Amino acid sequence: MNDKCRQSGMWLILRGQESQIHWASASDDPSTMELPDLVLMAASILGFIALCKTLVRLVRWAWTMFLRPPKNLKEYGSWALVTGSTDGIGKAMAFELASKGLSLVLVGRNPCKLEAVSNEIRERHGEGVEVKNIVIDFAKLSEEEIARRIDEGIKGMDVGVLVNNVGLAYPYPRFFHEVNLELMESVGRVNIGGTTWVTRSVLPGMLKKKKGAIINIGSASVWLQSYPLATLYAATKAYMAMFSKSISMEYRQYGIDVQCQFPLLVATKMTLIKRSSLLIPSPETFSKASIRWFGYEHECTPYWPHSVQWYVSSLLPNALLDWCVLRYFLGMRTRGQAKERKKSRVRVLVRPTAMLKKIFFFFFLLLLFTY
Ligand SMILES: NC(=O)c1ccc[n+]([C@@H]2O[C@H](COP(=O)([O-])OP(=O)(O)OC[C@H]3O[C@@H](n4cnc5c(N)ncnc54)[C@H](OP(=O)(O)O)[C@@H]3O)[C@@H](O)[C@H]2O)c1
């Protein structure tokens, strides 16, 4: 670099390297600069632009995560429908929506659990929040029956928000050939059928009034290059991501905001994680973050530590990520298999005890009648 450049320049240290930005003054004539100086200047300008871009992204991230006011969900309609609302994220989401003053249609497979959740919501939120239950086992009912029950259940209601949350994963990770046929069918029916058919039933009402929000709970597994030992689950979530993206494009013009959320781990019965932490939130913490995003971008990771986790892991080489996921799931598989063996051993032990009881009872009756 020549002396003239050195004197008139402003120097910055970028990324620990001695990269120097020279802001050419009016007297600098690029035609008189040497080639290395020009290259250095171009690199510095590019570095500066990259830095600005990163800063803008950071500010935007902070705005969307913490500062942006959430939408008034009641403007979409007075009712919200949540599938899989008897446990985990869906249950927490139902409470969160009720706290925003929305009445609820709860969809679940277990009538007792549905009743318990709706009573709890009524007790906590009083008369202002109406709750209606629809019993559907997505793994067992036909598509027509699912659509019929939803159509009948929401007839005449102003459903403004739909949360397609219902989801099913394997009880523990396993190789594809180890998934039995029943489980295989259930994962497809619940994850794909559940979302598709409920959306199909709720959409016409939203279209009529030209507003609505559809939130699909996907999974961050779709961002990874592979998701071994949970193959079917990840494949159904990939369907969900594409389904969301496409219907978002179709219905945006009709005032319907479709969004797919991509959570990482949440402490629910699906993940078998009981204790929550900053990185693995409780369903309640996750739902609070999730609802703030309803109606905005068509894709998001609403809980901020999840998005930081995702950013950090996206910097790692894909091969390393693949290896980590495989190791993690192999460990879970071994623990799951051990638990299953223990359970079946207990069952084997219990069975002879029951048998012995019957024999004793028989001899007791025999003795009673002989004397
Ligand atoms: N937890 C995570 O780390 C995580 C991460 C990424 C994405 N997700 C997604 O988040 C959603 C909720 O997951 P979660 O962790 O909250 O799961 P969860 O605790 O297992 O709850 C699942 C809910 O779905 C219901 N359900 C399951 N099978 C059903 C069926 N056949 N018919 C009707 N309802 C059924 C369950 O009903 P019962 O109460 O009767 O069991 C429960 O209410 C899922 O779509 C999941 O893929 C979760």
More confident residue, 208 or 23: 208
What's the pLDDT tens digit per position in 241-278?
999 999 999 999 999 999 999 999 999 999 999 999 99
From the list 76, 170, 233, 303, the catalytic residue is: 233
Model confidence at 33, pLDDT cuts 50, 70, 90, reads confident
Mutation choice for ligand 1 from 93, 137, 168, CB with most ligand atoms inside 8 A:
168
Q: Give the position, in ligand 1's atom list, of the atom nearest the Cα of 169.
A: 47
Distances (CA, A) of 317 to 93, 118, 225, 309: 35, 46, 10, 15
Span 285-296, average pLDDT: 98
- Whether the per-residue pLDDT at 312 is higher than 90: the answer is yes
Span 8-37, average pLDDT: 53
Residue that is written with structure tokens 């590019």 in the block: 46
Query: Is 233 an active-site residue?
Result: yes
Q: How far is the CA of 268 from the centre of ligand 1 (A)?
A: 8
> Do residues 21 and 10 make contact, with C-beta atoms less than 8 angstroms apart?
yes
- Whether the per-residue pLDDT at 238 is higher than 80: the answer is yes
Q: Give the position, in ligand 1's atom list, of the atom nearest the Cα of 221.
A: 6
User: What pLDDT sits at residue 9?
Assistant: 42
* Secondary structure (3-state) at 107: strand
What's the pLDDT tens digit per position in 78-132?
999 999 999 999 999 999 999 999 999 999 999 999 999 999 999 999 888 999 9
Report how far residue 175's alpha carbon sits from residue 217's, in angstroms, rounded to the nearest whole number: 24
Residue spans of the domains in the chain: they are: 3-66, 73-314, 319-371
Span 213-237, average pLDDT: 97
pTM: 0.85
- Whether the per-residue pLDDT at 368 is higher than 90: the answer is no
Mutation choice for ligand 1 from 118, 266, 325, CB with most ligand atoms inside 8 A:
266
Q: Whose CA is nearest to atom 35 of ligand 1?
A: 84
Q: Residue 74 corresponds to which tokens in the numbers above?
A: 């009641």
What angle do the packed helices 88-99 and 111-125 form, to 10 degrees?
30
> Do residues 164 and 194 make contact, with C-beta atoms less than 8 angstroms apart?
yes
Longest alpha-carbon distance in the chain:
124
> Do residues 84 and 266 make contact, with C-beta atoms less than 8 angstroms apart?
no
Helix or strand (DSSP H, E) at 133: strand 131-135
Highest mean pLDDT among 126-130, 302-306, 340-344: 302-306
Least Cα distance to 240 among 215, 214, 218 occurs for 218
Least Cα distance to 165 among 251, 92, 79, 104 occurs for 92
Q: How far is the CA of 368 from the centre of ligand 1 (A)?
A: 54
What's the pLDDT tens digit per position in 54-65?
999 999 999 999
User: What pLDDT sits at residue 348?
Assistant: 60
Q: How far is the CA of 370 from the centre of ligand 1 (A)?
A: 58
Q: Whose CA is nearest to atom 46 of ligand 1?
A: 167
Span 282-299, average pLDDT: 98
Q: What is the DSSP letter of 277?
A: -
- Whether the per-residue pLDDT at 1 is higher than 50: the answer is no
* Secondary structure (3-state) at 342: helix
Q: How far is the CA of 166 from the centre of ligand 1 (A)?
A: 5
The radius of gyration of the chain's CA atoms, rounded to the nearest angstrom, is 28
Q: Whose CA is nearest to atom 8 of ligand 1?
A: 219
User: What pLDDT sits at residue 370?
Assistant: 66
Report how far residue 22's alpha carbon sits from residue 130's, in angstroms, rounded to the nearest whole number: 66
Q: Whose CA is nearest to atom 20 of ligand 1?
A: 270
User: What pLDDT sits at residue 351?
Assistant: 61
Q: How far is the CA of 67 from the centre of ligand 1 (A)?
A: 29
What average pLDDT does the chain have?
90
- Whether the per-residue pLDDT at 174 is higher than 50: the answer is yes
Q: How far is the CA of 102 from the centre of ligand 1 (A)?
A: 22
More confident residue, 28 or 85: 85
Helix or strand (DSSP H, E) at 124: helix 111-125
Report how far residue 45's alpha carbon sits from residue 209's, in angstroms, rounded to the nearest whole number: 50
Q: Which residues line ligand 1 (CB under 6 A)?
A: 84-90, 108-110, 113, 136-139, 165-168, 190, 217, 219, 263, 265-266, 268-271, 283
Report how far residue 355's alpha carbon sits from residue 347's, in angstroms, rounded to the nearest whole number: 12
Q: Between 3.40.50.300, 3.40.50.150, 3.40.50.720, 3.90.1170.50, what CATH number should domain 73-314 receive?
A: 3.40.50.720
Distances (CA, A) of 191 to 45, 55, 70, 95, 332: 48, 38, 28, 22, 22
- At CB < 8 A and 24+ separation, what contacts does 120-128 make? 120/95, 121/94, 121/95, 124/95, 124/98, 125/98, 125/99, 128/101
User: What pLDDT sits at residue 362?
Assistant: 72
